[in-house]
Structure 1
């Protein structure tokens, strides 16, 4: 049984919480957010709440079907790209050693996420080389990619441990390019 009466305070609180959640998860330009926002008049009535509840159910359904996974991947790709842009900026400012550390961190985080996608159980403190080896074993990528990742990891490790003479500025230029290619291939 429905009625036209709805507690305006409770309804507004609930709708505001839903809008906040949708804005963070889907973005304010998403269909979920816009549709829910349409149900948010000054004085919500029962039909508005019922329709808003339907939008919430649709969002839950999309989440359970992993329709949001692509949104999550897009966000991760954007974050990876921003860090690689920072590495390029450091490099162009003459700080190629810190640029290698930043770029290497992107690679390491990407490998960690790939392990999750391929059901590789990570130890407490997984090493980059270990993740690389495990990902090749489960077929996430082939031996050629594994070797490239090993070479990139070597530059990162030398940079992180202050072994500046083991790599050049040109190596870091190629490293950033190769990591960007790797991330685009596996996270685009």
Structure 2
């Protein structure tokens, strides 16, 4: 099961559990101490997954969930569960519609950002070969990811072919394609240790 599917499944489980936990007694309070504990645990679990899915701390989904989860409502905590369940349902709809970056893409971007930082450090210390290899790997994977997202079959295809296909698809302009081909050439030289 892909990570995206696991996250969607977790969202659905939390929404179903939230629909059960949000019901308090006739006074709008938790039904028991155990119910209160389940509500608090549920809120923590929701906050965790929202933080995993929504990296931007200023995103309205994240700020709304944080505000509700960080407010101690005592015996009225089941009302917090109800509010957060509605937010979680809306967030899941946006995920299904592709309105949020995928977790896989966010993770890859974070890892590649670290790789590029390493490449910059290598370049700063005059280790151009090492910097070239690392930056080249990031470049190629990014280009292949763009192809996958555009519906272009990239497996076992050369970068020059992929760049041409991206131009045909209107994803790259000719000027950007020219730059990409130069970068691909440099990447190939670095990868095959053709330093001269």
1:37: how far off?
Answer: 3.2
Query: Who is 1:179 aligned against?
Result: none
Query: Who is 2:144 aligned against?
Result: 112
Q: 1:49 aligns with which of 56, 81, 94?
A: 81
Matches within 5 A, 1:29-108: 29-40=58-69, 41=72, 42-69=74-101, 80-108=112-140
Q: CA RMSD in A?
A: 2.9
Cα distance in 2 between the residues matched to 1:136 and 1:148: 12
Q: 1:18 aligns with which of 32, 41, 46?
A: 46
1:43: how far off?
Answer: 4.2
Pick closer, same or farther for the CA change 1:150–1:45 going to 2, 3 Å. Answer: closer
1:57: how far off?
Answer: 1.7
1:76: how far off?
Answer: 5.9
Q: Is 1:149 aligned to 2:177, yes or no?
A: no
1:45: how far off?
Answer: 3.4
Report if aligned partners of 1:129, 1:153 keep a CA contact under 8 Å in 2. yes
Cα distance in 1 between the residues matched to 2:113 and 2:77: 45
Cα deviations across residues 59-98 of structure 1 (Å, max 9, x unaligned)? Answer: 1233233331399878766654543332222112121111
Range that drifts further, 64-73 or 2-11: 64-73
Query: Who is 1:184 aligned against?
Result: none
Report if aligned partners of 1:115, 1:122 keep a CA contact under 8 Å in 2. yes
Question: What is the number of equivalent residue pairs in this alignment?
Answer: 164
Cα distance in 2 between the residues matched to 1:31 and 1:144: 37
Cα distance in 2 between the residues matched to 1:46 and 1:81: 40
Range that drifts further, 76-85 or 96-105: 76-85
Report if aligned partners of 1:87, 1:102 keep a CA contact under 8 Å in 2. yes
Report if aligned partners of 2:51, 2:62 keep a CA contact under 8 Å in 1. yes
Cα distance in 1 between the residues matched to 2:79 and 2:195: 67
TM-score normalised by length of structure 2: 0.69
Pick closer, same or farther for the CA change 1:53–1:156 going to 2, 3 Å. Answer: same
Ranges in structure 1 where 5+ consecutive residues have no aligned partner:
166-188
1:32: how far off?
Answer: 2.1
